[in-house]
């Protein structure tokens, strides 16, 4: 149920954008997006060949059913309507997909249950279908009219508007916010208390609660610069990069595996995550931040820091990978689509992927533009990249080659000794095989024996007797090597004879003769080999089956040979091992690797209706026409590289890039962006509540060198950010959603902030930066949640329960749900029990006095002292509560504080 709820929220957050529709009754944007992402591609791939206008023209239409238009789907064919909105039972398309009622679609085989479930969900939601009733080509786009949409116009700096309350604004932001409030008859709440603001800004910038020392310093600093100093201190913290990296990783759909069971996890994925942490901590200019992620390998100039230049390529390298072995056109197209979708939603706030199968229904993005932009990835490989210089790589490869050669020489020497040892044992082959046969007979008749004593009694080598016994067992089961077929036949017959008492009585003369013959043939083959003469086919097969192949009874592996060497050979072995060890000490550092991208940029054909089996004309490589300076100028058929793409996006002339990131940063600080659809700045997206503020911030942001830390300071030093979260009924009646920012909107901590706060408050948090990801389920994982493994194949249950986004797609925002699993984890998990125990120990160490302990615990958990009532209730609780089997009274109090709503929310 939790997963279903979370998925429904995820789907609701995805919105398709485009032109203002020409008809009135438009379906919800999220439902349209669900159709475009989950339904239309299936129809194109599996249905249109028999149920489309093209099929009709080619006289291949089946059952009179057209599924390439909305009206065709709902009218249906000879058996009735294929799609009836909100009625799954009457929708024959679902019955056909389920292979029910004599209907089977597609006839080649039933589609996966997950795909069928998508169709059921689509119909239950009303079967949103943006396709019109015809398949005619879309009308030509009026580019001049299209560019009048606010998001496609260059952002302009606006003068701060006049306000009545001139004493309230602290920064330019405040004038825009206050002007909007005054226009609607709203007044801002008073400023937040100092402790409240410090807790808020500390979580916002580093994702952790403030320490006792930080609280004390701030509360006693009454200078006008107190807030600015606190902000600067937090921005300089190494943990700032960790907090804000997580926000970016949501957009980048970061994960540590590839979603498919047959594809191995990414061993170097964490290097991209750590690169993002480092880049943000160093305040890498945002335009350069983007260029490095899109084309770090293609940027000109000398490379002095390979990690900085190349590790960011994980933005693309860690995307969807669908193939195993041979890669077909469909797989390549799907993988490119993932990159196009992530890039355009995340960086441009546009759903360009909606144009993969058809011209965008709403925005000025023709299908040709999708393939023009996608050509930047055409021919690309999602490969590992070396994060070191060519000299360092060559040095390591040279050492590694020598190391492998030395080890190979030792292995070859041991293998030769093993052959020698096996050759000696072959002298006893006849006796070994016959005694092995005896043991087999005893085993068949369930007579116990001691193999070691038997080997000693018969004066045979234990290793080879054991090997021969297992060999006899194998061929007795009916799987003899071809050269042993005759001998195996004798054994099979002898196995049917009753057991006769006596040590050797059940070795018949026939078996002895057969064994002697087999051994003679082996010896004859050995004699030919010793003379370096050519073996015939039968002789070669016999030596392999008895001596040379790994499973042969007289074969000795290099590992086994090491334990059977003579004293002189052991000295030689030790000498060779010493040489290998000495070489290992000379090993240069192994060059680190990261997952990235190579190549790409070749012209790409348009796939008609997204069908890779129907390639059309070549799309001229290039950027989106609506964002190009000369959209009506035909583009040349030259390459459009990832570097060209990076320059087009990370450009001051691009009207979207700065706006989108400014809006994302605003959203993280206020819980809602100035544009409430952060990955959708098109016609179906929300219009900005404060458009002039958004534009002014975007221009200043670029003027400030694309500095994200500048943007943080500008926002956090404002009176708007410093508002209290106090509720006001009159204001709420006018603006219940707080769109106009009359107060600070309280919000629940995300799972990362909450889990990290529990660890920090209990004293368990390991603040070490960087390194490989590990499972959050491991009790020893007390690092920040950022370093937990993010799996697409098997999502972490804790993360899923607490609204972590789907790592398969770019996520524009977190959604907050309330489900039983959350409270069950808080109350019953080992993580919380251990944290409560450790927090209780801290509480008890803080003071010998119970009242002082309680005051200290509240300050640690909530950043404030308890009220008189709270202190009295807590004191009564710890004095009257008996320890249960698991928790002491102090531990129960600690658990209650960590589980409290106040601990989970920031105001």
Chain segment 338-369, per-residue pLDDT in tens: 999 999 999 999 999 999 988 998 899 999 99
Whether residue 280 contacts residue 248, with contact meaning beta carbons closer than 8 Å, is answered with: yes
Tokens of 510: 């026939």
59: left (phi over 0), alpha (psi -120 to 50) or beta: left
SS3 call for 384: strand
**Whole-number Å distance between alpha carbons of 226 and 223:** 5
Q: In the predicted model, what is the mean pLDDT of residues 60-64?
A: 82
Cα first-last separation, the chain:
30
Q: Is 482 buried (19+), middle (13-18) or exposed (0-12) by CB count in 10 A?
A: exposed
Which run of H or of E encompasses 604? strand 604-607
Residues pairing with 594 in the sheet: 385
**Is the pLDDT assigned to residue 247 strictly greater than 80?**
yes
**Whole-number Å distance between alpha carbons of 49 and 68:** 10
Residues pairing with 723 in the sheet: 191
Helix axes 429-444, 485-495, angle to 10 degrees: 40
Which of the given ranges, 20-29, 421-430, 736-745, has the highest pLDDT on average? 736-745
738: left (phi over 0), alpha (psi -120 to 50) or beta: left
Helix axes 657-670, 238-251, angle to 10 degrees: 110
Position 587 scores a pLDDT of 93
Q: Between 613 and 747, where is the model more confident?
A: 747
- Measuring CA to CA, how many Å separate 73 from each of 88, 105, 355, 357, 535? 14, 14, 21, 18, 72
Confidence band of 77 (pLDDT split at 50, 70, 90): confident
SS3 call for 454: helix
Q: Which residue has the tokens 């700065």?
A: 658
Position 503 scores a pLDDT of 44
DSSP secondary structure letter of residue 355: G
**Whole-number Å distance between alpha carbons of 850 and 879:** 9
Q: In the predicted model, what is the mean pLDDT of residues 760-774?
A: 96
Q: Which long-range contacts (CB under 8 A, 24 or more apart) does 274-278 make?
A: 274/311, 274/769, 274/770, 274/771, 275/307, 275/308, 275/311, 275/312, 275/314, 275/594, 276/241, 276/245, 276/248, 276/249, 276/252, 276/312, 277/241, 277/242, 277/245, 277/769, 277/770, 277/786, 278/241, 278/308
**Whole-number Å distance between alpha carbons of 214 and 202:** 10
**Is the pLDDT assigned to residue 96 strictly greater than 90?**
no
Q: Buried b vs exposed e over 359-393: b needs ≥16 C-beta within 10 Å?
A: bbbbbbbbbbbbbbbbbbbbbbebeebbbbeeebb
Confidence band of 17 (pLDDT split at 50, 70, 90): very low
In tens, the pLDDT along 165-175 reads 999 999 999 99
Q: What are the two backbone dihedrals, phi and then psi, of residue 783, each rounded to the nearest 5 degrees?
A: -80, 175
What's the CA angle centered on 249, arms 243 and 254, to 5 degrees?
135
Q: In the predicted model, what is the mean pLDDT of residues 278-297?
A: 97
**Whole-number Å distance between alpha carbons of 737 and 717:** 23
Q: In the predicted model, what is the mean pLDDT of residues 491-514?
A: 74
% of the chain at pLDDT higher than 70: 92
What is the chain's length? 907
Whether residue 376 contacts residue 640, with contact meaning beta carbons closer than 8 Å, is answered with: yes
Measured over the CA atoms of residue 355, residue 358, residue 363 and residue 366, the dihedral's sign is positive
3-state helix, strand and coil shares in percent for the chain, rounded to the nearest 5: 55, 5, 45
In tens, the pLDDT along 424-478 reads 999 999 999 999 988 888 888 888 889 889 889 989 999 999 999 999 988 887 7
SS3 call for 574: helix
**Is the pLDDT assigned to residue 3 strictly greater than 50?**
no
Tokens of 307: 């990690």
Q: In the predicted model, what is the mean pLDDT of residues 682-697?
A: 96
SS3 call for 694: helix
Half-sphere exposure of 902 (CA within 13 A, CB side): 12
Nearest to 226 by CA among 259, 260, 198, 200: 198
Q: Between 108 and 595, where is the model more confident?
A: 595
Average pLDDT value over all residues in the chain: 89
Nearest to 280 by CA among 235, 319, 321, 325: 235
Which residues have C-beta within 8 Å of that of residue 5, sequence separation ≥ 6? 817, 819
Q: Buried b vs exposed e over 71-100: b needs ≥16 C-beta within 10 Å?
A: ebbbbbbeeebbbbbeebeebbbbbbbbbe
H helical segments located in 39-152: 40-46, 53-57, 70-75, 92-98, 113-124, 143-146
Q: Between 23 and 429, where is the model more confident?
A: 429
**Whole-number Å distance between alpha carbons of 340 and 358:** 15
Q: Is 15 buried (19+), middle (13-18) or exposed (0-12) by CB count in 10 A?
A: buried
Nearest to 389 by CA among 501, 306, 446, 294: 306
In tens, the pLDDT along 397-434 reads 999 999 999 999 999 999 999 999 999 999 999 999 99
Three-class HEC string of 621-653:
CCCCHHHCCCCCCCCCCCCCCHHHHHHHHCCCC
**Whole-number Å distance between alpha carbons of 676 and 680:** 9
**Whole-number Å distance between alpha carbons of 583 and 386:** 23
- Look up the pTM and report it: 0.79
Nearest to 833 by CA among 776, 782, 762: 762
**Whole-number Å distance between alpha carbons of 576 and 247:** 53
């Amino acid at each position: 149920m939790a997963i279903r709820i979370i998925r429904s929220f995820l789907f609701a957050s995805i919105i398709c954008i485009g032109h203002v529709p020409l008809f009135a009754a438009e379906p919800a944007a999220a439902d349209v997006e669900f159709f475009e992402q989950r339904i239309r591609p299936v129809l194109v791939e599996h249905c249109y060949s028999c149920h489309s206008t093209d099929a009709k023209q080619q006289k291949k239409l089946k059952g009179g059913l057209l599924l390439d238009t909305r009206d065709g789907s709902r009218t249906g064919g000879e058996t009735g309507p294929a799609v009836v909105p909100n009625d799954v039972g009457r929708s024959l398309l679902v019955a056909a997909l389920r292979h029910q009622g004599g209907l089977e679609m597609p006839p080649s085989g039933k589609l996966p249950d997950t795909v069928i479930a998508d169709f059921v969900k689509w119909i239950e939601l009303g079967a949103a279908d943006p396709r019109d009733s015809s398949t005619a080509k879309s009308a030509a786009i009026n580019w001049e009219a299209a560019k009048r949409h606010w998001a496609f116009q260059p952002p302009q700096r606006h003068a701060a508007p006049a306000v009545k309350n001139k004493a309230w604004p602290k920064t330019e932001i405040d004038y825009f916010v206050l002007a909007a409030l005054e226009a609607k008859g709203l007044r801002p709440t008073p400023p937040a208390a100092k402790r409240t603001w410090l807790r808020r800004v500390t979580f916002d910038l580093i994702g952790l609660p403030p320490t006792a020392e930080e609280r004390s310093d701030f509360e006693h600093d009454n200078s006008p610069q107190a807030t600015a100093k606190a902000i600067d201190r937090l921005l300089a913290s190494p943990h700032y990069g960790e907090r804000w990296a997580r926000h970016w990783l949501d957009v980048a759909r970061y994960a540590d595996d590839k979603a498919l069971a047959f594809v191995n996890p990414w061993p170097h994925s964490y290097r991209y995550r750590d690169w993002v942490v480092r880049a943000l901590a160093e305040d890498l200019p945002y335009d350069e931040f983007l260029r490095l992620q899109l084309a770090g390998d293609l940027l000109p100039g000398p490379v002095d820091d390979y990690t900085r230049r190349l590790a960011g390529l994980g933005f693309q390298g860690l995307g969807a990978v669908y193939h195993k072995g041979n890669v077909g056109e469909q797989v390549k197209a799907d993988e490119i689509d993932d990159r196009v979708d992530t890039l355009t939603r995340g960086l441009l706030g546009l759903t360009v992927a909606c144009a993969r199968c058809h011209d965008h229904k709403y925005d000025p993005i023709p299908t040709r533009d999708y393939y023009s932009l996608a050509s930047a990835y055409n021919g690309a490989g999602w490969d590992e990249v070396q994060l070191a210089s060519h000299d360092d790589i060559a040095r390591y490869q040279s050492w590694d080659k020598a190391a492998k050669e030395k080890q190979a020489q030792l292995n070859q020497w041991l293998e030769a000794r093993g052959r020698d040892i096996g050759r000696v044992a072959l002298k006893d082959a006849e006796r070994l095989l016959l005694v092995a046969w005896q043991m087999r007979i005893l085993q068949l008749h369930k007579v116990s024996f001691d193999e070691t004593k038997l080997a000693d009694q018969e004066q045979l080598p234990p290793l080879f007797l054991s090997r021969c016994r297992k060999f006899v067992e194998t061929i007795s089961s009916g799987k003899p090597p071809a050269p042993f077929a005759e001998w195996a036949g004798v054994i099979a017959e002898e196995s049917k004879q009753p057991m006769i008492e006596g040590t050797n009585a059940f070795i018949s003369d026939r078996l002895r003769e057969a064994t002697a013959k087999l051994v003679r043939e082996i010896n004859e083959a050995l004699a030919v080999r010793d003379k370096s003469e050519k073996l015939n086919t039968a002789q070669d097969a016999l030596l392999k089956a008895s001596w040379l192949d790994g499973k042969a009874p007289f074969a000795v592996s290099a590992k086994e040979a090491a334990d059977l060497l003579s004293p002189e050979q052991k000295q030689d072995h030790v000498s060779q091992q010493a040489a290998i060890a000495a070489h290992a000490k000379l090993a240069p550092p192994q060059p680190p690797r990261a997952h990235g991208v190579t190549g790409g940029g070749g012209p790409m054909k348009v796939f008609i209706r997204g069908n890779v089996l129907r390639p059309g004309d070549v799309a001229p490589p290039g950027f989106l026409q609506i964002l190009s300076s000369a959209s009506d100028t035909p583009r040349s058929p030259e390459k459009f590289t990832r570097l060209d793409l990076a320059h087009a996006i990370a450009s001051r002339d691009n009207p979207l890039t700065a706006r989108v990131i400014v809006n994302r940063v605003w959203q993280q600080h206020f819980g809602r962006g100035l544009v409430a659809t952060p990955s959708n700045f098109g016609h179906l997206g929300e219009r900005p509540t404060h458009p002039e503020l958004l534009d002014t911030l975007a221009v200043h942001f670029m003027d400030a060198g694309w500095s994200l830390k500048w943007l943080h300071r500008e926002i956090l030093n404002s009176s708007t950010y410093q508002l209290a979260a106090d509720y006001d009924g009159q204001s709420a009646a006018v603006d219940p959603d707080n769109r106009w920012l009359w107060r600070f909107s309280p919000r629940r901590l995300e799972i990362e902030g909450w889990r990290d706060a529990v660890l920090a408050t209990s004293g368990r948090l390991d603040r070490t930066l960087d390194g490989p990801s590990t499972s959050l389920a491991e009790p020893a994982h007390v690092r920040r949640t950022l370093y937990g493994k993010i799996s697409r194949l098997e999502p972490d249950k804790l993360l899923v329960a607490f609204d972590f986004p789907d790592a398969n797609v770019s996520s524009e925002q977190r959604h907050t749900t309330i489900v039983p699993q959350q409270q069950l984890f808080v109350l019953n998990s080992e993580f919380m029990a251990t944290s409560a125990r450790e927090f209780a120990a801290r509480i008890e160490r803080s003071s010998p006095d119970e009242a002082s302990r309680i005051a200290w615990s509240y300050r640690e958990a909530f950043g404030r002292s308890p009220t008189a009532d709270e202190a009295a209730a807590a004191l009564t609780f710890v004095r009257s509560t008996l320890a249960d089997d698991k928790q002491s009274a102090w531990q129960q109090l600690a658990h209650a504080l960590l589980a409290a709503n106040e601990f989970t929310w920031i105001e």
